[in-house]
Structure 1
Amino acid sequence: MLAWIGRNWYLAAFVACVIAAWCAPAVGASGGPLHVPGAKIGIIALIFLICGLSLPLRALSAAAGRIRVHVFVQGFSFVLIPVSFLLVDRILAVLELPLPMRNGLLLAACLPTTISTCVALTRLSGGSEAIAICNSTIGNLVGIVATPMLVLLSTGRQATIPMGDIFAQLALMVVLPLAIGQVLRLVGERWLVRGRAVFSLATSLLLLVLVYLVFCDSFAAGLRVGAASLVAIIIIVAVAYPLLLAAAFAASGRRPWNMTRAERVAASLCASHKTAVLGVPMLSIMYAGDPHLPLLCPPLLIYHFVQLFIGTALAPRLRAWVQDADVPGSGRGMVDVPG
């Protein structure tokens, strides 16, 4: 058992963080002893600062030019996932799942990819961190406009969000720390290259803290959902997310996209993720005053847990698969699946 935990320490730590948040959510939630105002924004900013410190500018520039990859990720995130969930919604309507819970699933499908989680998991999985950064930024900027439109099309709800505030928040969390990291890298690149292992560990630990804080807030607010509906949502998401991740991974290996293994890992994670850090506030704004708001958030929070758990569990295998591409005589092509 100890040997398994040693090999899979990050997965064990992730589960421990969620359990700790569930057992005593008030400790890390707003007003709790471990709560620090702006902590989540600060953690995300630190993750992107580390990305700026550890990534060469040429890698970011090259990733920015991979238009096919960006089209794949954003198309999967904003077209294929919402359409898939709309089709599933027809089945759920027949099964008489409560409408607010069904709408919660549709709203989750309309959201952009995660801001920092996809970047941290891509690094942990040996994928292209630069591709993940580009698509995290693109997705959340596009989502400011696309998400309200998709919500209107899928649920009929007229939704507006404060675009200026969200633009400013993204600039503070993503663009500014990334730029500062790049400037600092120019000053001390030789030292920063030697510290790459430290940066990788720091990113992983910061993500664990972010997971803990997000779930403390979620559990403290309470999941005001009937047991049967909650179990149904858990089953739906537990089946849907692995299928979406597998579909993204399989499709990314097709010849038109021309992706390397590292790019496929990044693209698959970014394409299948949905943000809870921005998602919950966006839903709260779009559905302010709606008595069904407490029923709209649980599907997103469950989706967030499942994507984190599966991504963390698969990370060692994906990293080994990416690294195997560099081994002479491995005999594996670009579109192989992890062995």
Structure 2
Amino acid sequence: MRRFLAERWFLVVLMASLIGGLAFSPQLAAIPRYSPKLGVIAVVMLATSLATNFALALRARDSWSAVALALLVNAGAAPPLGWLMGRPLPPLMAEGLAVAMCVPCTIAAAIVWTRRGGGNDAAAALTSMISNFSCFLVLPLWTGLLLGATVDTKPGELMVKLLLGIAAPMLLGQVLRLARPVGRWADDKKAALSLVAQWGVLLMALLGAIEAGNAILASEFRPSAADWLLMAAVIIVLHLALLAIAAAAARLAGIGPADALAVIVAGSQKSMAVGVGVALQFGPMTIFPLITYHFVQLLIDTLVVDRHRRRHADA
């Protein structure tokens, strides 16, 4: 039992966070209101940046190939596939799933999950940054094509969040690494910095679960149990399909395991932080496919990256 918990503690804590946040969302509602979510994201990004030599990690051609492939899957394959697979769902759920697939890559989770699996987290970080900073163009384009409606991404507000939560801490970490004592310390403490980043993402997962639980309770739309089960099944199959597409693309490109994992994770994960505001423009019910996809990707990808790490360690 102790060995099981030591190897899978992250999955156990993640499931407890998601289930506990959903089940006790009314009692825990004050926590997200008074939690500096942007600050948590910034800490995760700073810890990730300090532990990574981006200049070295992105020097190889495979790293840039991984970024390009991840962006193609995330911004190119995911939106039409989500729209297509959502056809059997009730209209509002189908709209919500299409919107979920149009939003950019996760801001911090893709990096943390890639690093946890021993992948090229620098490639995942660059994918996340490009995906989020380009969403002002990608999001309206896809929602217009798939749903016949453009969306307001609130570029000024979102740009400030991205600059403060992603760009600034990532740049700060790399600048600090230029001082040799700091660089050596960060390399020595890479495991500890990775642990800080993982706990930061777990905290964000808890905050997201609490907000999701309260959103479900506040919604006036009440789908049947069959609708909920169908939506969950479609989303699981959709995420597995994106993982398979990303893995096939990496294999065809002939890139190594570390870069392939960055493609798999960053190519398939979607940001709930950006997506909620967009989905609500189509109605309250449209946020639930996004929330469900977010939880599914966290749970499935934990199994995927842990399996990758064990296989890579044995190689």
Fold shared, TM-score > 0.5 on shorter chain: yes
Change (3 A) 1:260 1:107: same
Change (3 A) 1:252 1:64: closer
Aligned to 1:50: 47
Contact 1:131 1:263 in 2 (8 A): yes
Question: What CA distance in whole angstroms lies between the structure 2 residues aligned with 1:306 and 1:248?
Answer: 17
Aligned to 1:186: 178
Aligned to 1:102: 94
1:135-178 Cα distance to aligned partner (Å, 9 max, x none): 00011112221011101110111322221221221111111001
Report the AA paired with residue 303 of structure 1: Y
Structure 1: stretches of 5+ with no match in the other structure:
326-339
Name the one with the larger helix percent.
2
How big is the shift at 1:222? 1.6
Question: What CA distance in whole angstroms lies between the structure 2 residues aligned with 1:198 and 1:68?
Answer: 29
Pick aligned residue for 1:232 from 230, 233, 250 = 230
Question: What CA distance in whole angstroms lies between the structure 2 residues aligned with 1:64 and 1:150?
Answer: 30
What value does the CA root-mean-square deviation take over the aligned residues? 2.0
Determine what percentage of the aligned residue pairs are the same residue: 28
Q: Which moved more, 1:56-65 or 1:111-120?
A: 56-65
Structure of larger gyration radius: 1
Question: What CA distance in whole angstroms lies between the structure 1 residues aligned with 2:292 and 2:86?
Answer: 17
Question: What CA distance in whole angstroms lies between the structure 1 residues aligned with 2:6 and 2:158?
Answer: 40
Aligned to 2:21: 21
Question: What CA distance in whole angstroms lies between the structure 1 residues aligned with 2:76 and 2:184?
Answer: 43
Change (3 A) 1:16 1:267: same
Q: Which moved more, 1:191-200 or 1:208-217?
A: 191-200
Change (3 A) 1:220 1:204: same
User: With CA pairs under 8 Å and 6+ residues apart, which has the higher RCO, 1 or 2?
Assistant: 2
Question: What CA distance in whole angstroms lies between the structure 2 residues aligned with 1:65 and 1:260?
Answer: 7
Question: What CA distance in whole angstroms lies between the structure 1 residues aligned with 2:212 and 2:95?
Answer: 19
Aligned residues: 309
User: Is 1:316–2:306 an aligned residue pair?
Assistant: yes
How is 1:97-246 mapped onto 2 (pairs within 5 angstroms)? 97-187=89-179, 188-222=182-216, 224=219, 225-226=222-223, 227-246=225-244
Question: What CA distance in whole angstroms lies between the structure 2 residues aligned with 1:124 and 1:63?
Answer: 21
Contact 1:49 1:177 in 2 (8 A): yes
How big is the shift at 1:221? 1.8
SS in 2 for 1:161: coil
TM-score in terms of structure 2 length: 0.92
Question: What CA distance in whole angstroms lies between the structure 1 residues aligned with 2:64 and 2:186?
Answer: 29
Contact 1:53 1:182 in 2 (8 A): yes
SS in 1 for 2:26: helix
Structure 2: stretches of 5+ with no match in the other structure:
none
User: Is 1:250–2:240 an aligned residue pair?
Assistant: no
How big is the shift at 1:84? 1.6
SS in 2 for 1:113: coil
TM-score in terms of structure 1 length: 0.85
